[in-house]
Structure 1
Amino acid sequence: MNTKYIDLINQTFYFPQDEFKLEDKTLQFHDIDLMKLVEDYGTPLKFTYLPQISNNIGRAKSWFSKAIKKHKYKGKYHYCYCTKSSHFKHVLNEALKNDIHIETSSAFDIDIVEKLKEEGKITDKTYVISNGFKREQYVTNIARLINNGHKNCIPIIDNYEEIDLLSQEIKGKFNIGIRIASEEEPKFEFYTSRLGIGYKNILPFYRNQVKDNKKVKLKMLHFFINTGIRDNAYYWNELSKCLKVYTNLKRICPSLDSLNIGGGFPIKNSLAFDFDYEYMVDEIINQIQLFCEQEEVDVPNLFTEFGSFTVGESGGAIYEVLYQKQQNDREKWNMINSSFITTLPDTWAINKRFVMLPINRWHDSYERVLLGGLTCDSDDYYNSEQHMNAIYLPKYNKEKPLYLGFFNTGAYQETIGGFGGLQHCLIPSPKHILIDRDEDGNLTTKIFSEQQKSEDLLKILGYNNQSES
């Protein structure tokens, strides 16, 4: 009778998978011995496996290279990293090993770019695509970067006032892009994105504010939809509308030579995840080429801004099940030694699911459970997986500790959770380690940050301010 947890996984999925396998009856992630991490560093624990960042960048570049060659596409492809997914230096350092470019979202991003330039990680040849609504400090920082010689900084115009604001501070000529305010999927609560300028308004905007402005040269049209890149009628229809704007604009604006299709590649959120990245890239290239041929305009250079895809699959979190509470006849709550709200806030805020697997005890029998966090908030729980409307884990046994791993958590969770700051119910941020490989391919680990201490939180709250009585 197949009653072990490993039997459940083998019956439900193809297993092992590229990044997951069992070794000595415990889970390995990219050949990392997760139980050894637990033994060496304890739990709760967060980790970043840096080589996966370069791996995903390489994968995407190869898909675009293959499609460009197949279709004899005459434009160039540029991979940009969307920094808001994770601003940490170790992430940028790894990503920039791969000849990529940067997309920024706010004023302080430019300070990070300037630090990276000082260290030689990027040069004036690196494209800096500056998105977002531009307040005074953001405009000032963009202008400073361009005035200091970074001509490949391209501010993406989000509203009608930004050209004038930028022109007042930037000395000499500069390049710009325009963001299309895409129409959202029908299920959204609003019809049109708050970001950018509407489809119908872009040509009049170009004629009124850009065409005769001798300081400004339009180089890029920017297109992105919130649902990301998906093989459905909605995505292909929005791309077609974008291409219509691009070709109409290209006819009257010879300097326009680039199309930015934004980010939106999904990342693996279940062992059942299935997305044909290579097909999607091939079809995007094909659609752009066919549309431009039909409209008799040159194909654009292509930019992408992959954020979650770049860094998401490098991250993980490990917890221990502390205790099991039987709250009624059907519901068993496994309490973890941390909080979902504070360490994986997307599980709480947008009901996001990550790959969740036990680290050990795969050969024990299993049970259906709910997972609860330590805060006194009723929403601090995790109750279902993408592939099934339940969580199944090895049966709780207070004599046999159970450790759980959440994987592909590397995008947004630290910044949304307020890394280094206050956490809900003052639950401390976990220890965070960086995992890399040396020149011989051997794993190396180092502590990036220790678990928060009470004095860290008391200082933020003002209790350790000696000047106050």
Structure 2
Amino acid sequence: MNTKYIDLISQTFYFPQDEFTLDGQFLKFHDIDLKALVETYGAPLKFTYLPQITNNIKRAKHWFSNAIDKHGYQGTYNYSYCTKSSHFKHILNEALKNDIHIETSSAFDIDIVENLKQEGKITDNTFVLCNGFKRAQYITNIARLMNEGHKNCIPIIDNYEEIDLLSEEIKGTFKVGIRIASEEEPKFEFYTSRLGIGYKNIVPFYKNQIQNNDKVTLKMLHFFINTGIRDNAYYWNELLKCLKVYISLKKICPTLDSLNIGGGFPIKNSLAFDFDYEYMVDEIINQIQIACNDAGVDVPHIFTEFGSFTVGESGGAIYEVLYQKQQNDREKWNMINSSFITTLPDTWAINKRFIMLPINRWNDTYERVLLGGLTCDSDDYYNSEQHMNAIYLPKYSKEKPLYIGFFNTGAYQETIGGFGGLQHCLIPSPKHVLIDKDANGNITTKLFSEQQKSEDLLNILGYHSTSNKQELK
């Protein structure tokens, strides 16, 4: 009878896979020796495998290049990274090696752009697409960037007041895009996205505020739906509605030449993950070309804004199982030495799934378990109720430590969890390790941040504050 963990995985999935292989009974991820990583840095730890960022950017560029060549498409493709997925400098540095553009969403993003420009990572030819609802500081920062000569900064208009606000601070002419307020899936509790301007209102908005405005040029139409790019009737229907708006605008606005189809490419969240990226790209290009040809208008240049797809599959987290609690005759709780709420907040906030596999003991027998975090919160768990599949792991043994890894966690977790700040129940943030390859293709590691210490948290809380006290008058 096959009762080893390796047997369970081999019988359930195609294994090994491109990024997951075994070295004896130890798991490797992109040829990274995870056993050695734990031995060097301990657990819990987080890591970022930087080369995967470049790998995914190149994959997407390849798919679009093939589709454009196949269909004789006359527009260009422009890959943009939406920084909100991860603002860290090491992430941007890696992504910008690949001749890409940037999408921002708030005022401080522009400060990051200016920092990257000073270091030569971004040039005036880099498109900076400014999305989001624009408060005063965001408007000011966009204007500063454009006034300093960055003409490829394109504010994406989100509401009716932004044209006037931008015009007050930007010297000279400037280009803009308009975001479509897409309609949400029927299961949503609201009908239309809060972001952007409604389908029926975009042409009147252009006529009222842009068409006869000598200072403003419409360059781009922006389309994005919350559920991302999926091969379903909802996505294709929304895309066709977007194309109708583009065609209507193009017929009265010759300067409109770009369509931003947003982002939302899914990332691998299971060993059974199956998504035909190449087909989706090919069909998107095909649908855009058919609609434009039928209407007798030029096809647009294509922009995408990939965040999770860019950075998500570069990240991982490793924990140690500290203890097993048998709470009743059916439920065994494996307690990890960290917290899901603080280190992987998407697992409880939006019930997101990640690939979870043991690092060691693949030749041991397995059991069904629940995974619990260290906080006092009842939601600090990861199990089959929140997720589609039951969790099976090598049997707990006090004498044989078990390490488990969560993979493809690189997008959003640090910013949602509050990197470097307070964590629920004051559970410290774990170490974070950057993994790269040298010129010879050898794996290298570097400690990016230490695990939080009590002094770090006490300083934030004001117990060890050394800041100057100012008497209220």
* TM-score by shorter chain over 0.5: yes
Structure 1 letter corresponding to 2:89: K
- 1:454 and 1:387 mapped to 2: Cα distance? 33
Alignment partner of 2:377: what SS?
coil
Q: For residue 197 of structure 1, what is the amino acid of its counterpart?
A: I
Aligned counterparts, 1:360-375, within 5 A? 360-375=360-375
Contact 1:53-1:314 within 8 A present in 2 as well: yes
Tell whether the 8 Å contact from 2:50 to 2:435 is kept in structure 1 after alignment: yes
Q: Is the 8 A contact 2:351 2:386 kept in 1?
A: no
Q: Secondary structure at the match of 1:458?
A: helix
* Contact kept? 1:269, 1:386, Cα under 8 Å: no
Identical-residue share of aligned pairs (%): 84
Q: Is contact 1:270-1:386 (8 Å) kept?
A: no
Correspondence 1:242-281 to 2 at 5 A: 242-281=242-281
Q: Give the residue type in structure 1 aligned to 2:286.
A: N
1:388 deviates by: 4.8
Which letter does structure 1 place at the counterpart of 2:168? Q
Q: Which residue of 2 aligns with 1:454?
A: 454
Report deviation, 1:246.
0.1
Match in the other structure for 1:109: 109
Distance, in Å, in 1 between the alignment partners of 2:386 and 2:267 is 13
* Structure 2 counterpart SS, 1:286: helix
The residue that corresponds to 1:425 in the other structure is 425
State the match for 1:392 in structure 2. Answer: 392
- 1:215 paired to 2:220: no
Question: Alpha carbons of 1:388 and 1:215: their partners in 2 closer, same or farther (altered >3 Å)?
Answer: closer
> What is the 5 A alignment of 1:127-206?
127-206=127-206
Question: What is the rounded CA distance, in whole Å, between the counterparts of 2:388 and 2:366 in structure 1?
Answer: 15
Contact map agreement 1:259 1:301 (CA 8 A) in 2: yes
Task: State how far apart, in whole Å, the 1-side matches of 2:384 and 2:220 are.
Answer: 42
What is the one-letter code of the residue matched to 1:142? I
Query: Structure 1: which amino acid aligns with 2:125?
Result: K
Cα distance, 1:58 vs structure 2: 0.2
CA distance in 1, matches of 2:106, 2:297: 34
Query: Equivalent residue of 1:180, what SS?
Result: strand
* Shift, 1:73, TM fit: 0.1
The residue aligned with 1:327 is 327
Check whether the contact 2:334–2:371 (CA below 8 A) recurs between aligned residues: yes
Which consecutive aligned stretches of 4+ in structure 1 deviate over 4 angstroms post-superposition? 385-388
Give the secondary-structure state (helix, strand or coil) at the position aligned to 1:259: strand
Partner of residue 79, structure 2: 79
| Counterpart residue type for residue 8 of structure 1 | L
TM norm structure 2: 0.98
How many residue pairs get aligned? The number is 468
Whether the 8 Å CA contact 2:351–2:387 is kept in 1: the answer is no
Deviation string, structure 1 residues 126-170 (Cα, Å, up to 9, x no partner): 000000000000000000000000000000000000000000000
Contact 1:272 1:387 in 2 (8 A): no
Q: What does 1:431-450 correspond to in 2, within 5 Å? A: 431-450=431-450
Residue number in structure 2 paired with 1:303: 303
Tell me the CA shift for residue 342 of structure 1: 0.1
Contact 2:44 2:319 in 1 (8 A): yes
Q: Please list the CA deviations of residues 25-50 of structure 1 after superposition, one character each: whole Å capped at 9, or x if unmatched.
A: 10000000001000000000000000
Superposed CA RMSD in Å reads 0.9
Gaps in structure 1 of 5+ consecutive residues: none
The CA distance in 2 between the partners of 1:137 and 1:413, in whole Å, is 26
Question: What amino acid is the match of 1:457?
Answer: L
Q: Which amino acid aligns with 1:422?
A: L
Q: Deviations over 1:306-346 (max 9, x none)?
A: 00000000000000000000000100000000000000000
How many angstroms apart in 2 are the aligned matches of 1:388 and 1:316?
20
Q: Structure 2 vs 1, CA of residues 303 and 386 (structure 1 numbering), >3 Å: closer, same or farther?
A: farther
SS of the residue corresponding to residue 209 of structure 2 reads helix
Query: Which amino acid in 2 is paired with 1:420?
Result: G
Distance 1:61 1:387 in 2: 32
Alignment gaps of 5+ in structure 2: none
The SS at the match of 1:212 is coil
Q: Which amino acid aligns with 1:391?
A: I
**Equivalent runs, 1:44-63 vs 2, <5 Å:** 44-63=44-63
Query: What letter is aligned with 1:359?
Result: I
TM-score, length-scaled by structure 1: 0.99
Q: Which residue pairs with 2:315 in the alignment?
A: 315
User: Aligned equivalents of 2:190 and 2:17: distance in 1?
Assistant: 39
Q: Following the alignment from structure 1 to structure 2, what is the Cα–Cα distance between the partners of residues 347 and 18?
A: 25
Q: Is the 8 A contact 1:75 1:300 kept in 2?
A: yes
SS at match of 2:292: helix
2:335·2:372 contact (CA, 8 Å) conserved in 1? yes
Report the CA distance between 1:24 and its aligned residue: 2.1
Counterpart of 1:460 in structure 2: which amino acid?
I
Cα distance, 1:233–1:386 mapped onto 2, change above 3 Å: farther
Corresponding residue of 2:404? 404
The answer (yes or no) to whether the contact 1:432–1:447 under 8 Å persists in 2 is yes
For 2:285, the equivalent position in structure 1 comes to 285
Structure 2: distance between partners of 1:387 and 1:168? 50
